[in-house]
A = this chain, B = another copy of it.
Amino acid sequence: MSESASQLATLLVSCPDRKGLVAALAQLLYGHGANIVDADQHTDQTAGMFFQRIRFDLRELHTDRVGLERGIADVAGRFEMTFRLAYESERKRVALFVSKYDHCLYDLLLRHRAGELACDIALVVSNHPELGYVAAQFQVPFHVFAIDKQNKSEQERAQWALLDAERVDLIVLARYMQILSAEFAERYATRIINIHHSFLPAFVGSKPYHRAYERGVKLIGATAHYATGDLDEGPIIEQDVIRASHRDSIDDLVRKGRDLEKVALARAVKWHVEDRVLVYGNKTVVFE
């Protein structure tokens, strides 16, 4: 992270659409000496909702962060805004949840090391010990929570304690083969990203590649979405597909699908940690 990056902040806003919104925020930031370097907005006409992402430079701030935050809160109050303010100097802390498949884990760790993901990988959590050596290669702490029907609730609580202790902001289910409880999903609402190996809502549930094979589709896909209590029904962040044909066995679909899973999940994580994603209803606004 360069010094200038450490002086940038991102404001994410959603509220009922009203006149003067854009001017009010722009004026406020200008008044405090915050220089807008990027702004994107969207109005959902049907829902009557307004969404905005503003990225600005703090280096010539006339006031301090406290003053700026108070100013934003004032405008937010006036326009019934929900907002989130993130400083790039405070990198999000991410926990990767995995089981035995290593492709998404490797992919995220390598992208992180290449500087593609502006976050810290705080830890890897698994319900199996197999992938510990991968985490070790990247010097990331690895924690195993073996889970069965009896201990699930208890183990989840232990996970929460760990996540709290590690101040985790985002959980990435990188082919984690264990269903989270509704309570878990609720606790980390819009802070858990899952990768499903189909172009949802096709093939909701398990064994999507098998079912894609049986249905004879000519495309297979992958879907990155926020996890909710309703399995595979959470807000979609990113999807991708690749062509399939009668020549593809289930194994071929699995192999082709791995590439989709990796890129769809990586994009979703990248966008989330860069504060590009807003959730409303069961949908997302992604300011790419």
Contacts and interface: CB of A to CB of B under 8 A. Distances in A.
Interface stretch (A84-92, A181-189, A241-249): A241-249
Interface in A1-57: 19-24, 26-27, 29-31, 35-46
A239 B217 contact: yes
Secondary structure class of chain A's binding surface, majority of residues: mixed
Copies in the complex: 4
15 contacts: A21-B36, A23-B31, A39-B41, A40-B40, A42-B247, A103-B114, A106-B106, A215-B283, A217-B236, A217-B239, A219-B239, A219-B241, A246-B283, A246-B284, A259-B263
Interface of A: 19-24, 26-27, 29-31, 35-46, 60, 102-103, 106, 110, 114, 116, 137, 199-203, 215-219, 221, 235-241, 245-247, 249, 255, 258-259, 263, 281-286, 288
Given A19-B30, A200-B202, A219-B221, 20 more contacts: A21-B36, A22-B26, A23-B26, A27-B27, A38-B43, A39-B41, A40-B40, A40-B41, A102-B110, A103-B110, A199-B217, A200-B217, A201-B202, A201-B203, A216-B281, A218-B237, A219-B240, A245-B286, A245-B288, A259-B263
